[in-house]
């Protein structure tokens, strides 16, 4: 189910050290509750020369803390419930495997990790966890700095990443250090939608990945910052490997370790994963329906959140009485969920709203009928696409033609409104802006209206 590919790594990076193998084997054999003890046993079984002196013991403590933090975060972020223990352990072995040896020796090693998955599949949680881990095991206290390539205009990406000098361009009223320097030595830069980066910027990023050097806009001399890079993309891995999304040399630099997340439809199709996955979706829907305020927003935030939690607990008990989770286990696999977890949670929020708003006593049959009524399906019984009740015909030529079909259908349905296209397809506005231009749609006449 989970695919973790290390084929692009060097021979040195491809081989996890003994510590990772021991820890992984202990974790596979144990349950979630046994993990901290299993980690301690793994450390105890290390060769004496790795834990003999005080410095090595101190570094072993850092590694132990990082391993324990990894497992706690995997539980807190629903990775264990969504993907299962084997996924978490395999991912642990890949992320830790080529880092633990250098961490025990006090040596820094830059990591390159590529997380691939469909829109809404949960890439950000995995990427953030991986970034936190490699920073925790590094020789310096760097920061984890996120950057969404698709959310920033193309002309500003270089200045955002590399920084700029005062007066480097019209609006450069002061000097900006950029996100790479903000992350600091051995911090981690988390790049979302890296496939949306324009070719000229890809070349500059490649140079940085190869040498740790970059040239801020308006500077005469390059700067050097060793940094971990965790990149995310919703583009298919086959397209990445064929150079359709990124330069092939940049892809191979980023893909020292590749983590490919399964789509929600595969998780729901698995009898083993369906129950825990449905539980996660329902829990997230309840939290989204009754959201808490961030601490510090107002002086009454704590009291407000206490009331919200009480209301949420009451609604959860009501959902349990009507066996909502069991209903969802039957209904959710009926749809392909092209928007994955994000889209599915939004659907379940509608069901929760029906349950919360219904007058009088609602039984399980009524909840099931409502869920089956609003679940996104086409009239012919096949799953409904994100562009309406139309499902794409068989496209034998490949994913490029399928993407064009989606964008063209959404373009016609919205009268050429790019923001509406982005909303329908569940992608960022900047992504829709670039793809409609790249596909030649923005030069065509819309049916009605404009993007204004």
Q: 250 falls in which pLDDT band (50, 70, 90)? A: very high
At 351, is the secondary structure helix, strand, or coil? helix
Q: 21 falls in which pLDDT band (50, 70, 90)? A: very low
Q: Examine the domain organization and report whether 211 and 278 are in the same domain.
A: no
User: Which residue shows structure tokens 């993907």?
Assistant: 83
The answer to whether residue 111 scores a pLDDT higher than 60 is yes
Please check whether residue 189 is in contact with residue 242, taking contact to mean a CB–CB distance below 8 angstroms: no
Distance CA 1, CA 125 (A): 18
Q: 205 falls in which pLDDT band (50, 70, 90)? A: very high
> What totals of helices (H) and strands (E) does the chain contain, helices first?
23, 8
User: Side by side, which strands form the sheet with 112-116?
Assistant: 3-5, 257-260, 112-116, 228-233, 188-192, 144-148
Contacts of 400 (CB under 8 A, 6+ apart): 244
The answer to whether residue 99 scores a pLDDT higher than 60 is no
Last residue of a domain, one of 71, 105, 139: 105
Q: How many domains does the chain have?
A: 4
Q: Which of 370, 358, 363, 348 is nearest to 287 (CA)?
A: 348
| 452 or 227: which leads in pLDDT | 227
Q: 100 falls in which pLDDT band (50, 70, 90)? A: low
Across the chain, mean pLDDT equals 77
CATH at residue 445: 1.10.10
Mean pLDDT of 104-110: 60
Q: Examine the domain organization and report whether 138 and 100 are in the same domain.
A: no
For the stretch 40-73, pLDDT in tens is 555 555 444 444 455 555 666 666 677 777 777 8
Beta strand 213-214 with 223-224 is: antiparallel
Last residue of a domain, one of 40, 73, 105: 105
CATH at residue 158: 3.40.50.300
Least confident piece of the model among 257-261, 291-295, 335-339, 391-395: 391-395
Is 69 exposed, middle or buried, given 0-12, 13-18 or 19+ CB atoms closer than 10 A? middle
The answer to whether residue 378 scores a pLDDT higher than 80 is no
Q: Examine the domain organization and report whether 244 and 333 are in the same domain.
A: no
Give the residue numbers spanning the domain of 452: 390-452
- Assess if residue 150 is contained within a domain: yes
Please check whether residue 228 is in contact with residue 268, taking contact to mean a CB–CB distance below 8 angstroms: no
Burial 365-403 (b: 16+ CB within 10 A, else e): eebbebbeeebbbeeeeeebbbbeeeeeeeeeeeeeeeb
- Assess if residue 382 is contained within a domain: no
Q: Examine the domain organization and report whether 60 and 95 are in the same domain.
A: yes
Q: Examine the domain organization and report whether 415 and 306 are in the same domain.
A: no
At 213, is the secondary structure helix, strand, or coil? strand
- The pLDDT assigned to 321 comes to 92
- Assess if residue 88 is contained within a domain: yes
Last residue of a domain, one of 69, 87, 105: 105
User: Which residue shows structure tokens 């890809």?
Assistant: 202
């Amino acid at each position: 189910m989970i695919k973790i590919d290390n084929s692009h790594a060097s021979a040195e990076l491809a081989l996890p050290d003994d510590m990772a193998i021991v820890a992984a084997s202990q974790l596979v054999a144990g349950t979630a509750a046994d993990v901290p003890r299993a980690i301690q046993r793994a450390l105890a079984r290390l060769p004496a020369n790795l834990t003999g002196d005080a410095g090595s013991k101190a570094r072993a403590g850092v590694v132990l803390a990082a391993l324990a933090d990894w497992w706690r975060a995997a539980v807190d972020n629903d990775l264990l419930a969504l993907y299962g223990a084997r996924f978490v352990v395999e991912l642990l072995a890949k992320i830790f495997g080529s880092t633990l040896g250098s961490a025990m020796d006090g040596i820094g090693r830059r990591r390159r990790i590529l997380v691939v998955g469909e829109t809404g599949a949960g890439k950000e949680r995995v990427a953030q966890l991986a970034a936190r881990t490699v920073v925790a095991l590094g020789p310096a206290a760097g920061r984890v700095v996120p950057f969404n390539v698709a959310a920033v205009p193309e002309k500003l990406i270089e200045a955002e990443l590399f920084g700029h000098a005062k007066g480097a361009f019209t609006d450069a009223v002061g000097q900006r250090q950029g996100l790479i320097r903000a992350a600091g030595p051995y911090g981690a830069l988390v790049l979302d939608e890296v496939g949306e980066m324009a070719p000229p910027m890809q070349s500059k990023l490649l140079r940085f990945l190869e040498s740790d050097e970059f040239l801020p806009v308006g500077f005469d001399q390059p700067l050097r910052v060793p940094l971990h890079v965790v990149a995310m993309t919703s583009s298919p891995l086959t397209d990445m490997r064929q150079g359709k999304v990124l330069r092939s040399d940049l892809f191979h630099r980023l893909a020292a370790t590749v983590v490919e997340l399964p789509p929600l439809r595969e998780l729901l199709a698995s009898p083993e994963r369906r129950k825990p996955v449905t539980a996660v979706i329902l829990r997230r829907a309840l939290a989204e329906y009754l959201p808490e305020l961030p601490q510090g927003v107002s002086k009454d935030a704590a009291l407000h959140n206490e009331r919200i939690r009480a209301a949420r607990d009451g609604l959860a008990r009501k959902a349990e009485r009507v066996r909502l989770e069991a209903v969802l286990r039957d209904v959710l696999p009926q749809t392909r969920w092209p928007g994955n977890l994000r889209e599915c949670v939004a659907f379940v929020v509608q069901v929760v709203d029906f349950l919360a708003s219904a007058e009088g006593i609602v039984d399980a049959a009524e909840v099931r009928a409502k869920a089956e009524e609003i679940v996104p399906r086409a009239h012919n019984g096949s799953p409904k696409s994100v562009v309406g009740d139309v499902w794409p015909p068989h496209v034998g030529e490949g994913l490029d033609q399928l993407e064009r079909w989606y964008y063209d259908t959404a373009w016609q349905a919205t009268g050429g409104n790019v923001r509406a296209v982005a909303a329908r397809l569940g992608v960022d506005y900047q992504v829709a802006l670039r793809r409609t231009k790249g596909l030649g749609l923005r030069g065509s006449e819309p049916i009605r209206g404009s993007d204004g």
